Amino acid sequence: MQSSNGRSQGAGNATGSSSVDRSEAGTVSRDMKYEDPWYDALATGWGEADGPGGPARTTVPAARTGPTGAEIRARNVYVEVQRSAAFQEVRSRYRRFVVPGVIGFLAWYVAYVVTATTAPGFMARPVSGAVNVGMVAGLGQFLTTFLLTWAYARHARLRRDRAALQLRWDTQELTRGAQGGAS
């Protein structure tokens, strides 16, 4: 194969090393070999023979057994926590912020897109110099995204994080107890 500058390119051999190397002056040196330890390397256990010339043995994982008593008790802990008043309070605080936030932001976004497509004259109206209503509204989209993110993080920190962390701690303690104290 020829390269674009007229010199032939060195091709790798079957072992993954190339006997052709270029020195700093651009001449070809055949003394140096390039050894790539990852070239043509198989993942562990893939295609490796068990012995000399023998085919690779494939292991099939055992069939999954049913849950143990400790797993069932731990699962019941999570169901009980989900039904608890503390969990429901954390979820309702989350929903009371997120649902109005999403509805408000989507309404603002749809209003921007609809106005931009149906009233291009209004969006082209100058506000100050070369800045028009469309630019201000577009930058307002970015601003409201950042403001909503900040408000969400603040709401989570002040209204939900402490209760959720306490709920998580209690759940882990109950799960450890259900599994017999092992962690």
| Residues belonging to the chain | 183
Please state, rounded to an integer, the average pLDDT across all residues of the chain.
Answer: 77
Q: Tell me the pLDDT tens digit for each residue of 65-110.
A: 666 777 777 778 788 888 889 889 999 999 999 999 999 999 999 9
Higher pLDDT, 16 or 89: 89
Give the tens place of pLDDT for each residue, 36-60.
Answer: 666 555 555 555 555 565 555 656 6
**pTM, full prediction:** 0.54
Give the separation between CA 152 and CA 144, rounded to whole angstroms: 12
| Contact criterion met (CB below 8 Å) for 116 and 123 | yes
